[in-house]
Amino acid sequence: MSEPLSSRPVVRLRPKAEARAIRHGFPWVFADELVTDRRTKGMAPGAIATLEDGERRPLATVTVNSNSKIIARVLDRNPEAEITRDWLECRLARALELRARLFDQPFYRLVHAEADGLPGVIIDRFGDVAVIQPNAAWAEAMIDDLAAALVAVTGVGTVIKNGSGRARGLEGLPEETVLMQGAVDGPIPVPMNGATYMADVLGGQKTGLFFDQRPNHAFAARLAKGARVLDVFSHVGGFALAALAGGAETALSVDASAAALDLAIQGAEAMGAGARFSTRQGDAFATLEALGAEGAQFDLVICDPPAFAPAKPALQAGLRAYERVARLAAPLVAPGGYLVLCSCSHAADLTQFRNASARGIGRGGRRSQLLHTGYAGPDHPTLPQLAESGYLKSLFFRLD
């Protein structure tokens, strides 16, 4: 619960810090921008405070974690806002209203962190099941209130806390997955773009399924009719199952995880496409090289790797990895076929990723047309002031 306003601590920007950015909607304060005296450093991670500018004028209500490089996150631009369960319910209700307009069935990202006004919080919904990722200390501290507010607003019967991933480590939070309410009998069937995906919400990667690629799956499915499809880094079937729903002749999924591929097989069988679907477990780069050596050809090749450049220090190595993926994948595309290359790296912007992809295609001996650039679906809204919230890029090429 938020502390009463009368006893709430106050934190202050350094005199040369840019208060205007906060006033204009930027949601973060970095450690070198805040006065970090002994009192501030002694605040419990996730504590709620009032943020002042260098002239002691109130700016916003923030959450503070001196263990993080993002030392303060804006919760509310009202410096007198009380962060209570009612406040959480209001934010969740606003998020739900948008998704209810966008989707006929309750399978979507319900909360996309800062872009939905709940910094560091991810909530994915799978029908009657919701998975919360509390990736900021304040959300970890208020997880019980957050779960109760989620149930009150959405009516879901099962709530899971998924406390895993790199973001929690940056906040100094432990990894743990907890079934907070309800029960889960096994993987959950998720209908999307005419396909059926199986989401392991307790033991799978992230929350169990990636909803962000939904519109890009749909675009790829339009290219897949009658096609031989290769889906690399496929997770639980991603692009491959959407392609099968779009009329692909065959689809081959490649992933390092046997468990993910098993879920992909279950999904293909559930949608009646098991006979047209196959899998190949192994390292993606090694498999691309092996397929090239075998002379394999596909009409549609998709590569949707994990983030090779999750932060700036990894940018150059990440761009080289994206170029390598493109170089190895391009020769596998039949003449006149299509290559889809994706990046979910925060640190690599669209221009950098596009250039690395084009270099790789050229080094793979192919010429290309860029047909389409796709982004995350509207259940993953972007906060205009925060470039990191628009992380996903999908490039659709036609190769000569």
Q: In 10 A of CB 384, how many CB atoms?
A: 12
Report which of 240, 238, 321 is spatially closest to residue 283, judged by C-alpha positions: 321
Q: Is 392:380 a contact under the CB 8 Å cutoff?
A: yes
Which of left, alpha, beta for 245 (phi over 0: left; psi -120 to 50: alpha)?
alpha
The 3-state DSSP class for residue 7 equals helix
Half-sphere exposure of 177 (CA within 13 A, CB side): 15
User: Which candidate, 288, 238, 246, places its Cα nearest to that of 264?
Assistant: 238
Which of 90, 303, 342, 344 is catalytic? The answer is 344
H-helix segments, 52-191: 85-102, 137-141, 143-154, 166-170
Q: Specify whether 303 is catalytic.
A: no
Pairing type for strands 298-303 and 176-181 reads unpaired
What DSSP string runs through 350-376? HHHHHHHHHHHHHHTT--EEEEEEE--
Catalytically annotated residues: 344
